[in-house]
Structure 1
Amino acid sequence: MTIKEYLIVAAAIGFMALAVWADAEKNRQWKEFARDHECRKIEEISGATSIGYGIASNGQGGMITTYTPGKTGWACNDGVTYWREE
């Protein structure tokens, strides 16, 4: 491998590590908020996968798959219901 390829791999690994850290930080902040605002789980909505057919910009037809993640509703003492993706 060349130096350029090593740098690309290192940048990709760094980006993945940053994404994992950011997700963990987001979850930590939510848990702190939920604790401070006495949030309780009130509802869950399952995720869904939809399959359909469409036409691409080049005129070719094809199958389209769409995924909608599940959500959990949390009622908090500030009077707001917060929805979080699973």
Structure 2
Amino acid sequence: MLLAVAIGVPIAGVLYKRERWQAFVKEHDCKKVGHKEGDVVTSVGMDSKGFPVVSTGVTDDKTAWKCKDGVTYWR
């Protein structure tokens, strides 16, 4: 039961955000105007004790939406 809640609540939050965005797109007459592919980012540095550290991160794909309010939103 606890696992179902731990998985279900974040998924419900994502779906709710997606529904809100789709409603915003419709209400503000937004059109897709661009796209950026995600990427893998690697950085090198030192920790607080002077040891080298390599970290890797990922950026998501993003789509540009131009809306009738004149603003371009990246999502």
Shorter-chain TM-score bucket reads: 0.7 to 0.9
Aligned-pair distance for 1:32?
1.0
Aligned-pair distance for 1:23?
0.4
- Which residue of 1 is the match for residue 72 of structure 2? 81
1:54 equivalenced with 2:41 (yes/no): no
- Which residue of 2 is the match for residue 29 of structure 1? 20
Identify the structure with the greater helix proportion: 1
Aligned-pair distance for 1:29?
0.8
How many pairs does the alignment contain? 75
Higher relative contact order (CA 8 A, sep 6+): 2
Uncovered stretches (5+) of structure 2, i.e. residues with no partner: none
* Aligned partner (choices 7, 10, 21) of residue 19 of structure 1: 10
Query: More displaced, 16-25 or 48-57?
Result: 48-57
- Which residue of 1 is the match for residue 56 of structure 2? 65
Q: Which has the larger radius of gyration?
A: 1
* 4+ long deviations beyond 3 Å: none
Q: In percent, how many aligned pairs have the same letter?
A: 31
1:40 equivalenced with 2:31 (yes/no): yes
Aligned-pair distance for 1:63?
1.5
SS at match of 2:10: helix
